[in-house]
Homo-oligomer: A and B are copies of this chain.
Amino acid sequence: MIDQVRSFNRTVTQRVGALDEAFLASGRPLGQSRVLWEIGPDGCDVRQLRARLELDSGYLSRLLRSLEDAGLAVMEQSTADGRVRIVRLTAAGAAERDELDRRSDAAASSILRPLSDGQRTRLVAAMAEVVRLLTASAVDVRVADPREPEARACMAAYFAELAERFDDGFDPGLSIPAGEAELTPPAGLLLLATLHGEPAGMGALKLHAGEPAEIKRMWVARAARGLGLGRRLLSDLEGCAAERGARVVRLETNESLHEAISLYRSAGYREVPAFNDEAYAHHWFEKELGREPRGER
């Protein structure tokens, strides 16, 4: 498998790397082209640009200056914050950006052109699969402090989604709490998933010595769905629970969360009578953490 991945890396960097060279081949250095591209049609402030491209401020400043000297961009002061500068493409800059776009399209179609219709369809499908799974593999899952800003942002997004999806809305005050202290070791824990630094999902555990652990706050951001992240978080939570001595995990869920319910079922959870009085729950599930058959993670 590793050899296959390495062979992929080699082929793709050769073929797509050459393509990237075509992309940048506009008589302009790569750095300038990247910035020109990233500015976008509607302009952008320099601070954002620096963050997105991860460039040194001095370096970026010089790159912008060179674009300005070439008549491709203009800089202006932000009205909101006098320190921030906003860069905007001139007509010439926008034209050059379109040209990059056109070239990039041409490079992509040069890959497809020599292939038959059937091969094209298969290639594009395989590429989509690779993109999807590489994205899934780029998701980072870690134990996080529920008090950190990203965790709080996840929590807020989770509550907002519940409020939207539940038939009768959602008021955290009416639900059984799982406060920050309860989700901090050793009382419990929070797994936070991020993709390229952005929150992508979470899942939490409340531990009760000698009793089943409770899974709470399972959530996957819309942008990260279809990556198998829910299953991964669930499996990781089970692992954490088992490590900490739990032999059974359980959870409750609302009937409107269909994907979650089918995830639980397919992950080996079986429905049990209500074990608490959660106001928003319609289903209660439980799973023994025995030496389960090692299947789809």
Seen from chain A, the residues whose Cβ lies within 8 Å of a Cβ on chain B are 1-2, 4-9, 11-13, 15-17, 19-20, 104-105, 107-109, 111-120, 122-124, 126-131, 133-139, 141, 228, 231-232, 235, 294-297
* Selected contact of A127 from candidates B4, B120, B135, CB within 8 Å: B4
Given contact pairs A116-B232, A137-B115, A231-B116, A124 touches B15 in the complex (Cβ within 8 A): no
* Selected contact of A114 from candidates B15, B107, B119, B136, CB within 8 Å: B136
Closest 3 pairs between A and B when the two form their complex, measured CB to CB: A116-B297, A126-B129, A5-B108
Contact in complex: A20, B13 (CB < 8 Å):
yes
**Per DSSP, are chain A's interface residues mostly helix, strand or loop, or mixed?**
helix
Contact in complex: A16, B12 (CB < 8 Å):
yes
Q: A114 to chain B: which residues have CB within 8 Å?
A: 136-137, 139, 141, 232
* Distance in angstroms between the alpha carbons of A7 and B137 in the assembled complex: 16
* Distance in angstroms between the alpha carbons of A129 and B129 in the assembled complex: 10
Q: A130 to chain B: which residues have CB within 8 Å?
A: 8, 11-12, 123, 126-127, 130
Contact in complex: A5, B111 (CB < 8 Å):
yes
Chain copies in complex:
2
Taking the closest CB of chain B, its distance from the CB of A234, in whole angstroms, is: 11
* Distance in angstroms between the alpha carbons of A155 and B9 in the assembled complex: 33
Q: A122 to chain B: which residues have CB within 8 Å?
A: 129, 133
* Distance in angstroms between the alpha carbons of A119 and B138 in the assembled complex: 13
User: Can you name 20 A-B residue pairings with CB atoms under 8 Å?
Assistant: A2-B105, A2-B109, A5-B109, A5-B112, A6-B108, A9-B19, A11-B131, A11-B134, A12-B16, A12-B134, A13-B20, A111-B137, A114-B137, A116-B232, A117-B297, A119-B133, A119-B137, A119-B297, A123-B129, A123-B130
Contact in complex: A134, B1 (CB < 8 Å):
no
Contact in complex: B105, A228 (CB < 8 Å):
no
Contact in complex: B296, A8 (CB < 8 Å):
no
Contact in complex: A15, B115 (CB < 8 Å):
no
Q: A128 to chain B: which residues have CB within 8 Å?
A: 4, 8
Q: A111 to chain B: which residues have CB within 8 Å?
A: 5, 134, 137
Contact in complex: B119, A228 (CB < 8 Å):
yes
* Distance in angstroms between the alpha carbons of A257 and B95 in the assembled complex: 55
Q: A129 to chain B: which residues have CB within 8 Å?
A: 122-123, 126
